[in-house]
């Protein structure tokens, strides 16, 4: 996972980098850090960041602005803010973060914050190895509308765009099975929460836009899965 560290004081930034490096070695997590002392350089970086550790007590007090800009660029991004006092965090609270670290804080608290950020990323998102590229992109699972095979290519259609994955449809069927995704057809996997219309034994409409066929061989299984999903959703709504 790619971690952005922003602190105008390079010495402090490198200190945080060393602490995160030891965490990665201790947990066998692949944590790659990128240090920035300049806000504009941080925003121009071409790396797809997963976690950002941001200093708020800067001369221009621009830590909150950086966090907001990064969240707009990477919606899945998990933020950790560092400050000298809670007063410096007022603007940051509206943006949301995994942790607000007010000095003095222990190395253990920093590490627990990073571990929690990693846990949430692994629970809420999926990493895609893009076809025809060495690039890896992270997508929020609930934003995936459907997955399909087109000309032997695996296509993920999301609310933010379409991506071609190096992985097979079988991989995605297994990867997404615990998140409310079901096969309607040998070539499709759909997100049950995106269904806006269901014509039994024929097709489903997703987000009032995409018509996905239901094959005869999967009609009964899909109907049961969808009815179970509706029942769970209704119980959850009633309970809330």
User: CA 165, CA 132: separation in Å to the nearest integer?
Assistant: 9
The answer on 233 and 147 residing in a single domain is yes
> DSSP assignment of 127-141, as one string?
EEEBTTSS-EEEEEG
**C-beta atoms surrounding 136 within 10 Å:** 13
The answer on 16 and 115 residing in a single domain is yes
The answer on 106 and 12 residing in a single domain is yes
The answer on 102 and 59 residing in a single domain is yes
Q: Which residues of 55-83 are buried (b: 16+ CB within 10 A; e: fewer)?
A: bbbbeeebbbbbbeebbeebebbbbbbbb
Q: How confident is the model at residue 218 (pLDDT cuts 50, 70, 90)?
A: very high
> In terms of pLDDT, which residue wins out, 103 or 146?
146
Q: How confident is the model at residue 128 (pLDDT cuts 50, 70, 90)?
A: confident
The number of distinct structural domains making up the chain is: 2
The answer on 70 and 43 residing in a single domain is yes
The answer on 151 and 98 residing in a single domain is no
**Least confident interval from 90-99, 115-124, 189-198, 200-209:** 90-99
Structural domain including 208 reads 130-239
- Taking 90 as the threshold, does the pLDDT of residue 205 lie above it? yes
Q: Among 108, 124, 140, identify where a domain stops.
A: 124
The answer on 219 and 165 residing in a single domain is yes
Mean pLDDT throughout 217-236? 91
Q: What is the pTM of this model?
A: 0.81
């Amino acid at each position: 996972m790619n971690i952005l560290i922003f602190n105008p004081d390079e010495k402090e930034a490198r200190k945080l980098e060393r602490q995160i490096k030891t965490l990665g070695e201790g947990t066998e997590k692949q944590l790659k850090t990128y240090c920035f002392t300049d806000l504009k350089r941080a925003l121009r970086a071409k790396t797809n960041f997963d976690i950002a550790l941001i200093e708020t007590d800067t001369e221009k007090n621009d830590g909150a602005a950086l966090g907001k800009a990064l969240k707009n660029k990477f919606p899945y991004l998990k933020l950790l803010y560092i400050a000298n006092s809670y007063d410096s965090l007022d603007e940051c609270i509206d943006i949301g973060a995994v942790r607000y670290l007010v000095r003095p804080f222990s190395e253990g608290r920093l590490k627990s914050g990073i571990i929690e950020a990693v846990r949430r990323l692994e629970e809420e998102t999926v990493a895609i190895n893009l076809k025809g590229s060495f690039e890896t992109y992270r997508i929020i699972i609930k934003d995936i509308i459907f997955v399909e095979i087109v000309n032997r290519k695996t296509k993920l259609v999301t609310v933010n765009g379409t991506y071609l994955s190096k992985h097979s449809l079988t991989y995605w069927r297994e990867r997404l099975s615990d998140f409310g995704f079901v096969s309607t057809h040998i070539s499709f996997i759909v997100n049950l929460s995106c269904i806006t219309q269901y014509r039994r034994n024929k097709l489903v409409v997703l987000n009032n836009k995409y018509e996905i066929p239901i094959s005869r061989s999967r009609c009964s299984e899909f109907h049961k899965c969808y009815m179970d999903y509706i029942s769970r959703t209704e119980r959850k709504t009633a309970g809330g």
